[in-house]
Chains A and B, each alone.
Chain A
Amino acid sequence: MEIISIGQMIVRIDADKANFGILILLLVFLLVYCVYSIIALIQVRILNNSTRTKAASVLNNLALLQLLVGLGLLLIVILSLL
């Protein structure tokens, strides 16, 4: 008799399909997030120009880091799907 988990018994989802579905969801989500990060980066640059303060470069770097991490995760998800 095949041993199936409690989760599978409840929702009756095939593990491979669930994994694929989640990865697709992550892919879509990260694509949206990367677009948001690019907009955030541009906006931070505009805002920094409107009020010129010392901490401006830190915020720019944080926005850039956010975008880079998002892109890195997106790459990992794409590689996992292949």
Chain B
Amino acid sequence: MVNNPHLSFEGEEAGEKVLFMVRPHVITNLGWVLVTIFLLVVPWIVLIILAMFSIDMLVPINTFLLIVATWSLVVLGGAFLWLLHWFFNIYILTNRRVVDIDFAGLFRRTMSQAPLRNIEDVTFTKNGLFPNFFDYGDLHIQTAGALPNFEFYAIPDPEGSLKEILDLVAKVKRGEKGYGDHFNWPDDRSN
């Protein structure tokens, strides 16, 4: 959880403050990191097998090395996309709303949001060995009316996030200054 009041995002309204920003837990990257390492090692395993059984490669060693370099570049390019996927899948909580930014590919990005006053119910689930061991899980936010429900997957400390959101919703419902649709942030003298 990144707790940074100076953080900003596209579509931020005047007087809106980012309270925290959450990405999926770092450990969720383990899968693609292992796959990447395996795919990087594969050509060298092939080379060793070819050498062990004295099988001719048909192409000179220079060309083989070029193939390996290109293969590695493609694998690392794929890993970079996975990194972007993790880095730009962000859940933002501001003093007014919950924002979910989903990065589904280089040309596909969706952003959905719901005002805090529309949040009706928040639940979290921690399923499995890894989520319990590394303390991450899914957060489900149910909103009123036709607004979309939110599913924040594999976020660290879902229980803490749940408490923060419920606390904020309570503040909005109490009409505390600086929360919900109020434009004045308590310690912001410019507004």
* Residue in contact with A47 in the complex, picked from B55, B81, B109, CB distance below 8 Å: B109
Docked-complex contact B73 and A70, CB < 8 angstroms: yes
Query: Are B55's CB and A7's CB within 8 A?
Result: yes
Interface of chain A, helix or strand or loop or mixed? helix
Determine whether the beta carbon of B59 is less than 8 Å from that of A33: no
Residues of A within 8 A of B69 (CB): 73
Chain B interface SS verdict (over half): mixed
Q: Give 14 A-B contacts (CB < 8 Å), ordered by A residue.
A: A5-B55, A7-B55, A7-B56, A19-B59, A19-B63, A33-B74, A47-B103, A49-B10, A52-B8, A53-B21, A66-B77, A70-B73, A73-B73, A77-B66
- The verdict on B101 contacting chain A, using a C-beta distance below 8 Å, is yes
Interface membership of B153, Cβ < 8 A: no
Q: How far is B65's CA from A23's CA once the two chains are assembled, in angstroms?
A: 11
Number of A-B contacts (CB under 8 A): 89
Given A8-B58, A26-B66, A76-B66, residue A47 in contact with residue B88 (CB < 8 A): yes
Known: A40-B80, A59-B87. Is A50-B10 also a contact (CB below 8 A)? yes
CA distance A77 to B63 in the complex (A): 9
- B122 interfacial by beta-carbon distance below 8 Å: no
How distant is A21 from chain B, measured CB to nearest CB, in Å? 9
Select one of A22, A33, A44, A77 contacting B84, CB under 8 A: A44
Write the B42-57 contact mask toward A (1 if CB under 8 angstroms, else 0): 0000000000000111
Q: A49–B57 Cα gap in the complex (Å)?
A: 47
- Report yes or no: A39 in contact with B101, Cβ–Cβ below 8 A: no
Spell out A's residues near B (CB within 8 Å): 5-8, 11, 13, 15, 18-19, 22-23, 26, 29-30, 33, 36-37, 39-40, 43-44, 47, 49-53, 55, 59, 62-63, 66, 69-70, 73, 76-77, 80
Which residue of the partner chain, among B57, B59, B70, contacts A73 with CB atoms under 8 Å?
Answer: B70
Query: For residue B83, which residues in chain A have a CB less than 8 angstroms away from its CB?
Result: 59, 62
Inter-chain CA distance A55–B23, complex, in Å, is 13
How distant is the Cα of A19 from the Cα of B57 in the complex, in angstroms? 10
